[in-house]
């Protein structure tokens, strides 16, 4: 077992988080709580704009819940920390982009961590599954989120059968943004992260909050939320220096300089 189950690296405005718990990068309660603290710190740090989550090694992104810890007494109803299982699934007000760089098997809770990111880049040896059905339990986060990510019938197939989905099928259904060779996974994730880190952070925050808050609303209700200024990040954006900077830069035919305020 790695002495540091969660490894972090910061370069500029980008945070890289590596789950490193050989052999399968499974998550126990302590690891989940640490991941939650890391991502909460990312959320709250004004100098950080984009995060990448990946797994240590070459075979597993994350195998989900640590069954050895479960056998030792940890429960599915344990307190997994501020962000829920894996630190991302339930972290409130995370209005910054997160990229999952999936480097192999992502099953159970590991699959759920991946779909809690905003983009998924996967190596061509990756595969996905929700085997909880075979153990007679609920893949709760996937049951909530997966039918919103891919067609309903495909999501139900995965949830009801527990079958494996290879990376090409995942890409076909839009679950994965890109498929790359294993040695290109992290360079590509960093390339995208650098692009995003140069973008307007207040707009990213407004996009994420708008999507999150209007997910269960009608179109008209969603517009009402915007018109009535009920979305704090949108209010902040419209009153910001960055809003003026974007207009000035466009008029002056130059690249904008985003300050996040």
Distance from C-alpha of 37 to C-alpha of 39, rounded to nearest angstrom: 6
Provide the pairing of β-strand 50-55 with 6-11. Answer: unpaired
Hey, which residues are catalytic here? 112, 132
Q: What is the largest distance, in Å, between two alpha-carbon atoms of the chain?
A: 63
Q: Which of 157, 242, 144 is nearest to 202 (CA)?
A: 242
Within 13 Å of residue 144, how many CA atoms lie on the same side as its CB?
10
In sequence order, what are the residues at sequence separation of 6 or more whose Cβ sits closer than 8 angstroms to the Cβ of residue 234? 206, 209, 210, 226
Distance from C-alpha of 221 to C-alpha of 218, rounded to nearest angstrom: 5
Q: Which of 8, 6, 49 is nearest to 27 (CA)?
A: 6
Distance from C-alpha of 202 to C-alpha of 207, rounded to nearest angstrom: 9
CB 53 within 8 A of CB 88: yes
Distance from C-alpha of 20 to C-alpha of 25, rounded to nearest angstrom: 6
Q: Which of 126, 131, 172 is nearest to 150 (CA)?
A: 172
| DSSP 8-state assignment for residue 48 | -
* Dihedral class, residue 178 (left if φ above 0, else alpha if ψ from -120 to 50, else beta): beta
């Amino acid at each position: 077992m790695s002495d540091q189950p969660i490894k972090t690296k910061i370069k500029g405005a980008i945070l890289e988080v590596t789950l490193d718990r050989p052999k399968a990068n499974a998550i126990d309660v302590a690891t989940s709580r640490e991941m939650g603290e890391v991502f909460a710190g990312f959320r709250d740090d004004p100098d950080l704009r984009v995060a990448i989550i990946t797994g240590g090694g070459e075979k597993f992104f994350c195998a989900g819940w640590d069954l050895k810890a479960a056998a030792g007494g940890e429960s599915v109803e344990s307190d997994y920390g501020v962000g829920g299982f894996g630190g991302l699934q339930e972290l409130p007000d995370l209005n910054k982009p997160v990229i999952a760089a999936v480097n192999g098997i992502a099953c159970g809770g590991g699959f759920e961590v991946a779909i809690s990111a905003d983009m998924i880049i996967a190596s061509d040896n990756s595969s996905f599954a929700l085997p909880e059905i075979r153990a007679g339990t609920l893949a709760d986060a996937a049951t909530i989120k997966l039918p919103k990510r891919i067609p309903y019938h495909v999501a139900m197939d995965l949830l009801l059968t527990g079958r494996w989905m290879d990376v090409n099928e995942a890409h076909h259904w839009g679950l994965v943004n890109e498929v790359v060779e294993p040695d290109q996974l992290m360079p590509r994730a960093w390339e995208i992260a650098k692009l995003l880190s140069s973008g307007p952070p207040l707009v990213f925050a407004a996009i994420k909050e708008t999507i999150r808050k209007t997910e269960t609303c009608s179109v008209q209700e969603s517009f009402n939320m915007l018109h009535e200024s009920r979305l704090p990040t949108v209010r902040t954006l419209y009153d910001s220096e960055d809003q003026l900077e974007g207009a000035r830069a466009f008029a002056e035919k130059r690249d904008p300089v985003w300050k996040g305020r």
